[in-house]
Amino acid sequence: MALPKEPRQKMINMMYLVLTAMLALNVSAEILNAFKTVNNSIIESNTVITDKNKITYRSMDEELKDNGTKLNAEIWVPKAKQAQQLSEDLYTYIQNLKDKLIDEAGPYTEDGVKKFREDDLDAATRLMDEQGNGKILYDKLKTYKEQLINALNLKPEEASTYPSLAAEVKTAKETFSHQLPLNLTVPESQSGNPRTSDSAKDWTENYFHMTPAIASLTILSKFQNDVKSSEAQIIDFCHKKIGEVQFHLDKTGVIVGSNSTYLMPGDKLTVYAGVGAFSSASKPTITIDGKGAPVDADGKATLDIPVGGSGKQSVKVNVTYTNESGKQITETKDIDYTVGTPSGVAISADKMNVLYIMGEQPNPLTITGGSGSEKLNVSFANPAAGVIKRVQGSSFEAFPKIQGEQTINVSIDGKITGKKFRVKLLPDPAAFVGSKKGGSMPSAEFKVMGGLIAKLENSEFEAPFRVVSYKVGAVGGGISQYSQAVNEGNRWTGAAEALIKRATPGTQVFFDEIRVIGPDGRQREITPIFFSLK
């Protein structure tokens, strides 16, 4: 059919053709809004994973300072930091691409807010295809994945010192090559375009050619998420390896002893403890009478303890070490001794060498005097420092209120004898799921625990701590994108319970912002923990 020659009719027909083309290319507002929602969700997820990674880096920095973990940390922290730098560089590059895409899509300001034409179909095509940024991004993602996995490579001296570790790293690298979420497989064309021999070109065309600007922005955010998630998996592996001893002892056993079994008040009980066949790469952790004891080069800890009270006494020694099978073991030994009865006054704390501020929870004391306990008047020298109550006989209970050095006075027949004690706040408890405070755990066992508890470690006091709230996050296994929920109380309920039910073997579960209240009524936030479900 011939086109009309009348100019007005020719103009009308031309406008109709243009309108028809616009309708054919139109992207509905609902689809654009859906992409905006997904993009915002991915950006929020990226922030959450970044915060979680920061917690891991801080933990590794602390392990680098700790003599018990320093040896392993010196191997794995540099590898984690290399992964961090690679991820930051690529994440920033993709962010710059997102900024350029907005500039290509006709940016404008509305009510003081920078916006752009979200349905622009040409912006991504120009930026990623015609200007060649798609191929650059494809190459960078491919190189990043290779370099990230190779960050785990051992130095020659590390590989020669720990041959079994070299085999573990090789296996881990093979696993990560398939497990990392960064997938560069070219998607099938939805418009029927045949593939070429150029993977980068096909990848660019299928992701960005004639794709609305907001959809392309979402795709770039998705690759940022892949980068953060890949970084998380690599540094979590490094973090886990820091806590593992790379070689085992031939024979192991706890050895404890003391300088005497009969002492008088004011004498010092010298307690020593250690592990047989000690290895410098696996120093034991030793507490004596609830106090950490320094371990010497021979693996032995020695601690002088002032004794008080009278009669039979006992000191508890806890030794944590790695046995010949590579398993961490904690053994407890009691050292019994007898304190003679003097003619004067003796004041001793029954459980610890310090007093703790614990609200209504008492600090037990034993106070004896030559004239009989019924004649003793006991109090803090500073009345504001707390209260001391008699239980029966020579047993008393102290309820201190002020930190620092405080003096307990014992008055008998008008004569006052004083003894100084250090008064402290209760230390922070540790968070536990069941009997574990992190690491690998069967998913079925993890789920039946039902919640989080907090308790003091290696303490004679059974000071109750109540879990107020915490955040739980999970990624991996059956949870493809990092998700989190806030939980009130110690039992996981609601969104937190639903998230944990979705967890499967391979899921990483994180607990942070854990808030607890102790017997002193003080709310505090304690150290985060995380688990790898199997």
In whole angstroms, give the CA distance from residue 108 to residue 164: 59
DSSP code per residue over 501-526: HH--TT-EEEEEEEEEE-TT--EEEE
Contacts of 374 (CB under 8 A, 6+ apart): none
3-state DSSP percent of the chain in helix, strand and coil, to 5: 40, 30, 30
Contacts of 54 (CB under 8 A, 6+ apart): none
Q: Which of 48, 185, 186, 213 is nearest to 128 (CA)?
A: 213
Q: Kindly give the confidence (pLDDT) of every residue in the chain, 534 residues in length, as a single tens digit, with 9 standing for 90 and above.
A: 444 445 555 554 555 444 434 433 455 677 777 778 878 878 888 888 899 899 999 999 998 888 878 888 999 999 999 999 999 999 999 999 999 988 988 888 888 888 888 888 888 899 988 999 989 999 999 999 999 999 999 998 888 888 888 888 999 899 898 888 887 877 665 555 667 777 888 888 888 888 888 888 888 988 999 999 999 999 999 998 887 644 434 445 566 555 555 454 555 666 656 665 555 545 577 887 777 777 776 567 776 776 555 556 777 877 877 654 445 677 887 777 665 444 467 788 876 778 988 888 888 988 887 655 667 888 999 999 999 999 888 889 999 999 999 989 888 777 788 888 999 888 889 999 998 989 999 999 999 999 999 988 877 667 789 999 999 999 998 898 999 999 999 999 999 999 999 999 999 999 999 999 988 888 999 999 999 999
DSSP code per residue over 235-255: HHHHHHHHTS-SS--SS--EE
CA quadruple 164, 169, 174, 179: dihedral sign: positive
In whole angstroms, give the CA distance from residue 365 to residue 36: 65
Q: Which of 236, 245, 229, 250 is nearest to 285 (CA)?
A: 245
Q: DSSP label at 130?
A: I
CA distances from 484 to 33, 289, 393, 502, 509 (A): 24, 40, 55, 12, 9
> Token pair of 459, please?
């303490």
pTM for the complete prediction?
Answer: 0.46
CA distances from 345 to 286, 332, 382 (A): 32, 32, 20
Question: Looking at this protein, which amino acid is placed at residue 333?
Answer: K
CB atoms inside a 10 Å sphere around CB 175: 13
